[in-house]
Structure 1
Amino acid sequence: MEERIGQVVLLLAVAMIVAIAARRVKLPYTVGLVVVGAILTLSDTDLGQHLTHDLIYDLILPPLLFEAALSIPWRELRRDAPPLLFLSIFGTTVAAAAVGAGMSWFLGWPIASALVYGSLIAATDPVAIIAMFKDNGVHGRVRLLVEAESLMNDGAAAVLFAVTLGWAQAGSLEQVGWETAATLARIVLGGVGVGLVCGGAAILLAGRASEHLVEAALTTIAAFGSFLVAEHLHVSGVLATVTAGLMMGNLGLLSAEGKSYLTRKGREFVVSFWEYAAFVANSFAFLLIGVDVAGAPFQSYGPKLLAGGILIALIGRALAVYPISLAFLPSRWIIAFPEQHVLWWGGLRGALGLALALSLPAALPLRDEIVVVTFAVVGFSIVVQGLTMPLLLQRFGFLPKRERGKTEDG
């Protein structure tokens, strides 16, 4: 126990040093964490901890997803529901199919393994995207589109991943096809249902409390409890936590004071508490991503696999964003071209894709190749796309004036 606590304290200390240094050199905090994690690994410094599927799902995702969902107004989400649903459902499907076809055609992968990889890399990662926008102080509709689409597309990705993995293991596409609709309903509706139940129960209990610490504890139970219960029931834990966060945020933090189930002090404390929880979770996630990316055996697989995987993932994301966005041009849900470019280049991959890759069974054909190329795409996404996103946001006027000045000076 002492050793595990020591590892956590060491990770937090390193992350805080990086946070201070990154601000001084005007480097995005998340990129700084990945770079420092990689440097520590390359210098043979062992932090004693590595990313695992359970670590990502049980400790990192719930606070990040819940904190992001707390601040999304239902009115704005409902206003842009059509493009968000099309991007998150059809877009994810198109991206997965395009990536799978590309990996099969260009690299000669078996179609089943290629589609498994396509499904896990198609969904943009809420962890990476939320951190990137916070780093750059981006607000407004473009932030809503990118963050909300990322939060929502996990449902489609979870179904695609389960279906393609089942096909790869069983080799029966016909059986998978009959089960797809039932799997979709169970994962998506089950996740939303668990989130509604957990969020509703927490709201009822919080309405009877007047102590801000109790109110914050109930939000914590709702965030982690909804995720764990949903995963235990084999439905979407991400959708459960996002649903609970949307529900508790809109009925509490974003509602008028007289209509909120939280006290005034509770509202202030809950906001600060979840900002801190998300900050710590982000710190651990990106530092460990850097540690494990640097430790991946890239040299054993050659540049064709790594470069091809990255390029095909970018093409798949483009095919998911631009055609669907163009379909909404003649409507009141028009997505302007600058917003489309941000949706494409801001489609970062991160902890979510790694968690799915690390959960793959050892018997799956090309399992090691899938894990390695996923690490390559995640590393490129966070470092290259993360570093260039401020330039793109500045180019299209999405940065606040203060941030635009910083970018110009830096």
Structure 2
Amino acid sequence: MNPSLLLAAQSLPLLDDLLLLLLGAMLVALVTRRLRIPYTVGLVVAGTAIGFLRHQGILPSGAGHFELTEDVILLILLPPLLFDGAMNTPFAKLRENGALIGTMAILGTFGCILITTAAIRSLTGWDWDVSLLLGVIVSPTDPVSVIAIFREQGVEKRLSTIVEGESLFNDGLVVVMYILLMRGMEQGWDGITASEGVLTFLRMIGVGAFIGLSLGALVNWLIERINEHLVEVLFSILLAYGSYQLAEHLEASGVIAVVFAGLMVGNIGRRSSMSATAILSLGLTWEVIAFVANSLAFIALGFAVDPMLVVENFPTVVLVWLASTAARALMTYAIAGADQAIRGAYPRSWLHIIHWGGLKGTVPVALALGIAESTTLFEIAPRIQAIVAGVVMLSMLIQGTTVKPLLRRLNIVRPREARRRWERHQARSIAVETALEELADAVSSTEIAPDRVASLRERLLTI
């Protein structure tokens, strides 16, 4: 057979699976919208059902060619989720809450890891390094569904920035810790000092941030000189994946690189270098990309873990989820509570949302899948993966479904009419900005008399 035809024939089952996953994501989106439940919760339920059918042999032969590996999530699905989140995080709000976000992302994450690790050690009797590994894996947060609820309910941008900003940075820190921990467990801890570990950790974070800032600045410079919105959007996609790949190639943190690259484009490039058409295209494109990536990650979770193994380890799953949730509560009320008491910049009711909104998502799943390749963890890897999958499911099903009622209970939501006014204001701003650009282009091409420009501009600005 012709090699190209053979390759095409081998690719068809994978393409079929991808199309089925996308169809499933679309159906889940429609059903969850009708039932008024978070989209990611529906994805977790769908993924669990797929996993059960697959492992019971009920799915038709040929299904399941799409494998959710560590590389698929970390290299393909995670960068767009991080980039989209960072791009929509404003510098101004980040600066206002920088101390809280940084302290939560660093001290809060380390505190959660230590508390959860101690609980896992006492519950399972595993060695400290294995317990620490599981504690690291279940510590990062994924507020995708929470942020979607925030937008729907009209929650203040500052609260969204705190929750999303912490998640962006604690993901990067946790992935670096995971890499160093796996390296030590594989190669042995002999000859590795604490100072060397800290220096390696700081180097990976620092180099990753430098790569993200540098490539982000380069792309902003290129965008400023290209007045073509399709090319500008393509540049942003190349930046998201390119910054991650370059950082990983240089043994730095790809996650941190993507976060800083997204911050650069979202706060500098989008505001000073892009046309209104490009801004609108960029936002819509990344919204779709993030939607697809998130959908594939959660639905394909069912391909990776046998739900029956999750059921067998369910008592441990519940205890690990309770330990990680309690650890986050302790660190949140200690750190954010102190910040709120000192600055008084936001109501105390926000502390409950910051704590309860720390859902588990794609990053724990990706890290858990990566341990399957470890020679030292080969026997225990399936159990760890099942526990992590169960913790993610519990987090989504319990926390994900109760965030909205909690927001209403705490009276943090914005009235519906206020949300609609804000949405109309946003649409009007984009329309006026586009009209002003078209007016400027018409003047430069002598399509309109200069004496009419001032009056037209004044009328546009009063809309």
Q: One-letter code of the match for 1:331?
A: I
- Whether the 8 Å contact between 2:51 and 2:307 is mirrored in structure 1 is yes
- Whether the 8 Å contact between 1:60 and 1:285 is mirrored in structure 2 is yes
Q: Counterpart of 2:212 in 1: which secondary structure? A: helix
Match of 2:410 in 1: 396
Matched, 1:349 2:366: no
- Whether the 8 Å contact between 2:186 and 2:375 is mirrored in structure 1 is no
Looking at structure 2, the residues matched to 10 and 227 of structure 1 have their Cα atoms a distance apart, in angstroms, of 28
Looking at structure 2, the residues matched to 362 and 384 of structure 1 have their Cα atoms a distance apart, in angstroms, of 35
Q: One-letter code of the match for 2:326?
A: I
Looking at structure 1, the residues matched to 180 and 321 of structure 2 have their Cα atoms a distance apart, in angstroms, of 23
Looking at structure 2, the residues matched to 262 and 111 of structure 1 have their Cα atoms a distance apart, in angstroms, of 51
| Matching residue within 272, 295, 313 for 2:284 | 272
Match of 2:295 in 1: 283
Match of 1:408 in 2: none
Shift of 1:120: 1.6
Matched, 1:385 2:385: no
Normalized against structure 1, the TM-score is what? Answer: 0.90
Looking at structure 2, the residues matched to 347 and 201 of structure 1 have their Cα atoms a distance apart, in angstroms, of 34
- Whether the 8 Å contact between 2:43 and 2:299 is mirrored in structure 1 is yes
- Alpha-carbon spacing, 1:194–1:16, altered in 2? closer, same or farther (3 Å): same
Looking at structure 2, the residues matched to 24 and 330 of structure 1 have their Cα atoms a distance apart, in angstroms, of 41
Looking at structure 2, the residues matched to 389 and 348 of structure 1 have their Cα atoms a distance apart, in angstroms, of 10
Deviations 1:277-335 (A, max 9, x none): 1111122122223554564612443x432222121111221222111123224422656
| Matching residue within 347, 367, 371 for 2:385 | 371
Q: One-letter code of the match for 1:281?
A: A
- Which is worse superposed, 332-341 or 63-72? 332-341
Looking at structure 1, the residues matched to 415 and 303 of structure 2 have their Cα atoms a distance apart, in angstroms, of 35
Q: One-letter code of the match for 1:283?
A: S
What is the RMSD computed on CA atoms of the aligned residues?
Answer: 2.4
| Matching residue within 319, 323, 341 for 2:330 | 319
Q: One-letter code of the match for 1:363?
A: T
- Which is worse superposed, 179-188 or 216-225? 179-188
Q: One-letter code of the match for 2:46?
A: V
Q: Counterpart of 2:349 in 1: which secondary structure? A: helix
Q: One-letter code of the match for 1:16?
A: M
Shift of 1:128: 5.3
Match of 1:4 in 2: 14
Q: One-letter code of the match for 1:346?
A: G
Looking at structure 2, the residues matched to 33 and 219 of structure 1 have their Cα atoms a distance apart, in angstroms, of 27
Looking at structure 1, the residues matched to 308 and 211 of structure 2 have their Cα atoms a distance apart, in angstroms, of 36
* Runs of 5+ unmatched residues, structure 1: 406-410
- Alpha-carbon spacing, 1:145–1:101, altered in 2? closer, same or farther (3 Å): same
Deviations 1:325-374 (A, max 9, x none): 23224422656432211111111111101111111214127333322211
Looking at structure 1, the residues matched to 319 and 189 of structure 2 have their Cα atoms a distance apart, in angstroms, of 28
Looking at structure 1, the residues matched to 146 and 197 of structure 2 have their Cα atoms a distance apart, in angstroms, of 29
Matched, 1:141 2:158: yes
Match of 1:49 in 2: 66
| Matching residue within 85, 107, 116 for 1:99 | 116
- Alpha-carbon spacing, 1:398–1:196, altered in 2? closer, same or farther (3 Å): same
Matched, 1:38 2:45: no
Give the aligned length: 399
Equivalent residues in 2 for 1:5-404, closer than 5 Å: 5-43=15-53, 44-45=58-59, 46-125=63-142, 127=144, 129-131=146-148, 133-134=150-151, 138-169=155-186, 172=189, 175-253=192-270, 255=271, 260-292=272-304, 295=307, 297-301=309-313, 303-332=314-343, 336-360=347-371, 361-364=374-377, 366-402=380-416
- Alpha-carbon spacing, 1:275–1:374, altered in 2? closer, same or farther (3 Å): same
- Alpha-carbon spacing, 1:403–1:373, altered in 2? closer, same or farther (3 Å): farther
- Alpha-carbon spacing, 1:366–1:4, altered in 2? closer, same or farther (3 Å): closer
Normalized against structure 2, the TM-score is what? Answer: 0.80
- Alpha-carbon spacing, 1:291–1:325, altered in 2? closer, same or farther (3 Å): same
Q: One-letter code of the match for 2:327?
A: G
Find the structure with the greater CA-based Rg: 2
Deviations 1:210-242 (A, max 9, x none): 111111111111111111111222221111111
Looking at structure 1, the residues matched to 250 and 132 of structure 2 have their Cα atoms a distance apart, in angstroms, of 25
- Whether the 8 Å contact between 2:149 and 2:404 is mirrored in structure 1 is no
- Alpha-carbon spacing, 1:335–1:234, altered in 2? closer, same or farther (3 Å): farther
Match of 2:7 in 1: none
- Alpha-carbon spacing, 1:280–1:159, altered in 2? closer, same or farther (3 Å): closer
Q: One-letter code of the match for 2:365?
A: L
- Alpha-carbon spacing, 1:235–1:136, altered in 2? closer, same or farther (3 Å): farther
- Whether the 8 Å contact between 1:37 and 1:289 is mirrored in structure 2 is yes
* Runs of 5+ unmatched residues, structure 2: 1-10, 420-463
Looking at structure 2, the residues matched to 57 and 135 of structure 1 have their Cα atoms a distance apart, in angstroms, of 28
Deviations 1:160-208 (A, max 9, x none): 3234334444553882412122122212111111111221121121111
- Whether the 8 Å contact between 1:119 and 1:164 is mirrored in structure 2 is no
- Alpha-carbon spacing, 1:323–1:277, altered in 2? closer, same or farther (3 Å): same
Deviations 1:61-119 (A, max 9, x none): 11111111111110110111111111000011000111111111222121111111111
Looking at structure 2, the residues matched to 9 and 138 of structure 1 have their Cα atoms a distance apart, in angstroms, of 35
Match of 2:446 in 1: none
Q: Counterpart of 1:27 in 2: which secondary structure? A: coil
